[in-house]
A and B are shown apart, each in its own frame.
Chain A
Amino acid sequence: MPAKTNPSDLVRRVRKGEHAAASRALSIVVDDGKDSEALAKEFFKASGSVQKIGVSGPPGVGKSTLTGRLVGHFRSKKLKVGVLMVDPSSSISGGAFLGDRLRIMEHATDPGVFIRSLASRGMIGGLTYAIFGAIHVLESLGCDKILIETVGTGQDEVEIASVADTVLYVTTPSMGDEIQAMKAGAMEIGDLFVVNKADLAGKDKAIADLKAALGLGHSAGQAVKAWEPPVLATSAKDGDGVPELAAGLEGHWDHLKKSGEGRARLKRQHATELQFWIQRRVIKSALERVTDKNLEELVARKTDPASLGRRLLK
């Protein structure tokens, strides 16, 4: 994959909507290759105006299949869609099986859909450091909606709430007991909740459990919340409930735009993007400079962690 392209030409082609250019740009940004910062600067300019929808939830609940359904729905409204699907990298081999794409191959040849699989590459929390850079490429490409599927680890993927505008949390009827056991974390980040696989038995109980777990419904004296997360049922297998889900997502987007919450979230996203940049550039690079000699010096008490740390950060 030789990168013969010059950055400004690449940016121009991405803005024109060329998939091949977007693909190349994504690799450069994600791999942190040559010109990645020059590109990222340009792509950031066009960012922040379309809805980024995070699709989160435990493995196997149907996130990828449902994402495919939403792509189909948005396409029926003539919207351009970008999809980022994150899967975990093996901490041992560094390799990854990026298996989400196979659930939405039906959209592979649609020129209005761009799908990219990303490996988490060492980051915990369901995402990858490069997620913002990747999002900004899709924003520049002219996508009207961006779907982000995160690693379904269950409880510790709170980060998606600092990346997406709207978080869709997916569960299934068979998860009733687990839902009740869920306390903080995942349940707090959802702006919409979906009981997928509603074609299977137990849908109504799952919805009731979910509502109970969320503490939905107002008790006396409690102020009406500006946004009450809806609990919806879908079958990604049959497509049932998908239009209602899409309407719910649009409703949340309207809420964000009207309430000022949208701007607050954008600010939080930028704070997270900055945090990722600093983690990648400063902390990681300082840690990579630690040599065995440094450690020997510590053992020999020739230096101490604070002095060494300061030296490494210079």
Chain B
Amino acid sequence: MKTGTGKVIPYEYIPDEGSEIETVDGRQYLIANDAMYTFFKRTKGELSPFFLALRDEKRLLGCKCVECGLVRVPPFLTHCPDCNFASTKLLEVEQVGILNSTAPITYFATSLFQHMAPYGRGRVIFRGADTALSVNLYTTTGILVPGILNKGTEVKLIFRTNRIGEMTDVFCVPTSELSRDQVEKRGLEESEIDWESPVEPNVLDASAEDTSVYREALKEIKSIVEEMNRNDRARKDIAGWRRDIAVKARGGQFALIIDERGIRIEEKELSAPDFIMVSQDLRVLLDGLAYRGAITDSVINKRLWISKNPEFTTIFKLDRMARSVARSKKD
């Protein structure tokens, strides 16, 4: 996502010049590092009022055909092809709408969008509009999972604090997660929303059997984590990463710490964890760490909940560590 302050192409994406030989069936092939790049000073032309209204006035514009009255949001044309190209007029629509259909969620994004994943992208028909605007969708309740952004879900347009006149200036969250004042306010900014109070799932009371399942799983997790620590590939997967994670399950809770010393378990309650992981059954996490199915899948399938959406990256790193250990065993 562009912020209006960085380089058009971040330096870290740019490879060095160079080439290498790849050998296939005994023959050598020359393979060169390369790029196609074109820089633009690109006009938003007739779409400029729409993007300027988002950026400068926190208003959402559409256009209305003077003949048929259809209101298109965004205002992507100046004349209505349905009415023999009758002219359209810009008008403002409301900032609450409903999802036209269930929105897909992208969990594994390319380098361009990794920082905003997992993200929903869906079509919202705002009050006063006849067509849908494609927007990013998020939740304040924790990790974004299927079931939150459904057909008919009412959503509110939220404005980024730093706006540059792009579609990334706005996104939507369900109105059910906001106060009535927030829903009614035009130009509501992301900073006005509480992102720090996700709805943590209740862990059910543990029976004696649950507790023993928990103790057994924890024991295995400890041993896997120690193995990860001894594995160079796995250590590389979390290089430079620091997280204090509170893990809660039926039967108990502990801290999963990732820092420059590696990854480790401490049987204590964290007062200010970076994020919280909750699963009714600790074996869900155990299976993932043991490379029996991806932890990311458990998150998507709601068997394991995390309190902060962007921490999906950390989950992905844990999967990578599990894979690294498994690969080392194979070698």
Q: Report if A and B associate in a common complex.
A: no
Interface residues of B (CB under 8 A from A): none
